[in-house]
Every structure is written in C-alpha cells, then in structure tokens.
Amino acid sequence: MTDIGIWGVPLAILGGAIRVSTPFLFVSIGECLTERSGRINLGLEGTLVFGAMSGYAIAFQTGSPWAGVLAAAFAGGVFGLFHGWICKFKGVNDVAIGIALMLLGMGLAFFFGKPYIQPVAPDLPAIPLGWWSTIPQVQAALQVNVLFILGGILAVAMAWMFRSTKIGLTIRVVGDSTDAARAIGLNPNTVRLLSTAAGGALAGVGGAYLSLYYPGSWNEGISSGQGLMAVALVIFARWNPIYCFWAALLFGGAGALGPALQSVGVTSGYYLFFAAPYVLTLALLIFTSSPDKAMDGAPGELSLNK
C-alpha cells in the first residue's frame, strides 16, 4: 500500500461518498417523484429494508445479482402501490400510513430474511475508473458501482421529465392542485398511485445496493435510518432530482468521514464521526425550517403544507 499522507483523507471521503451515497440517491429521487405528485411516503425506510432483503434472497437463490435488483424493485413497487392505493380513501393520512408501512416492511424483512443472514449472495459488479493510476488507494476509491451511474442518469432524466415532458407536467399539475388537475380531465388518484409505486421501486433498488454491494450482506440493521434521512434530503434539495444527486453525495461524504480519518490514524472519538450523517440531517432540517425558506418550492398538495 502506497503512503499518500494527508491526501488519503479527501480521497477516502470521495470514494466513501460514491459508495455510501447510492442508497440515498435512489430513495431520494423516488421520494422526489412521489412528493412532486402531492403525496409523501414516510414508509421508504421499510421499503429500503425489505428491498435489501428480497434482493439478497433472490440473488442468492438465482446466482444473479441483477435478478436481485429486479426483485427489490418489484417488492418496492408493490409497497408503493399499496401505499398509493390506501391513501386515496377519504380521511386517510399519508404520513400515518407511511409510518405504519415502514414498520410493516421492517417486520416482514426481519421475518423472511432470517434464513439469509449467513448465506453469501453474489455481489453487483463495479467499474474500475481508477485504471489510469498506479496508486492502490486511487484505484480503490474509484471503484464505481453501475447503480451509482444509473442513479445519476435517472436524476438528470427525471429533472428533464418534470421540465419538458407531458408526463412531468401532469405530475406537477396533480402535485400543485387537485382541483386544477380534475378541471383539465386528469385523475389525481391514478397519477399519485403510479408515482408512489415508481418511487417505491426506486427505493427498493437502493435497498438492493445495500445488500448486494455496500456493505454487501444482509442483516437486520443494514439501513441505519437511511430511508428516513433521504426524506429530509428531498426537502433540502427543494424537490429537484439533480439537487438530490448532490445532496446524496454530501450525505455519503459525511458517512465516509469516520473511516477516512481512521485511515490516516485519527482514532480519537472515532465513533462520534459515525454520527456525522445524523448531525447533518438535524442541521439541514433546522436550516430548511427557517420561516423564510421552509417549504419553498414544495408541491401545493403535499400534506406537509396543510
């Protein structure tokens, strides 16, 4: 291993940000899509955990990590469909339903996932973008998983969809005003149902990344609250998918801070650095709850506004 001194810290943070940010990225752009249709889904933590379990189980049974990713997306889509279906009924609160589905998803994952704690499933492949360097740390930092690249492309495509396509305009109209959507012949319940299902499928893919790449195993504490933090990330990103991408990298970098400092010998207060993503979440929530900035850019029908 080549000693690169203090440069090891930013290099480790960069590599860690790429690895740690991918679940944040998928959950946040999924929640962005859901919230732009006027519905909030706090159940994505449960969807993320159940996606991690189902993806790992199918990958182990089939020997194909990509089959696991598809299974996780399907499982997340089913959770999203259920959330979207039950929330269409009058008097149902989407926040309360989201919390209930979060607990349900985690409970089901723990129940069905116990047989898969010990078996080893195949990992998702990574692209070695550090091939140009002879330094092992650079090569390790630039091992980029395909799902990270796919998530970045999806964020750009979603931003373009919201801005320039009929589908994006439909979602925005439904998210901003139910009455206006009905007046032009749209069915708000159907649009929100499909948006919530698609958002759940993306969260499921984020879970598959956790169990099939980083950390690359299934256990009951694999999520560490990333699904809930991604909801705060969407608010910080002002419901913009591209901002979600950069915010996910920021959260990923915060999560990589502890291991990066440890790599150069800083071990004092090591475990406190693991709290960096949670401290960052609290700081962002305080920042975004300013009277001048709170809910700036939020869809008009989002329950947080009512």
φ, ψ of residue 265 to 5 degrees: the values are 95, 5
**pLDDT for res 3:** 63
Q: What is the pLDDT of residue 244?
A: 94
The answer to whether the CB of 83 falls within 8 A of the CB of 43 is yes
Q: How many angstroms separate the CA atoms of 202 and 196, rounded?
A: 10
Tell whether omega for the bond before 215 is within 30 degrees of 0, i.e. cis. Answer: yes
**pLDDT given at position 206:** 95
- Residue closest to 108 by CA, chosen among 82, 84, 87, 88: 82
Angle between helices 188-212 and 8-36 (to 10 degrees): 160
Quote the CA–CA distance of 227 and 26 in Å, as a whole number. Answer: 10
The whole-number pLDDT of residue 5 equals 65
* Single pTM value for the model: 0.93
Directed axis angle between helix 166-176 and helix 146-164, to 10°?
A: 80
DSSP 92: -
Cα–Cα distance measured from residue 201 to residue 83, given in angstroms and rounded to the nearest whole number: 12
Q: Does an H or E element contain 166, and which?
A: helix 166-176
Render each residue's pLDDT in the chain as its tens digit; 306 residues. 566 666 777 887 888 888 899 999 999 999 999 999 999 999 999 999 999 999 999 999 999 999 999 999 999 999 999 999 999 898 888 999 999 999 999 999 999 999 999 899 999 999 998 888 888 878 887 889 999 999 999 999 999 999 999 999 999 999 999 999 999 999 999 999 999 999 999 999 999 999 999 889 998 888 888 888 888 889 888 899 999 999 899 888 888 877 777 766 666 666 677 777 778 777 877 776 666 665 667 888 886 655
Q: How many CB atoms within 10 Å of residue 117?
A: 12
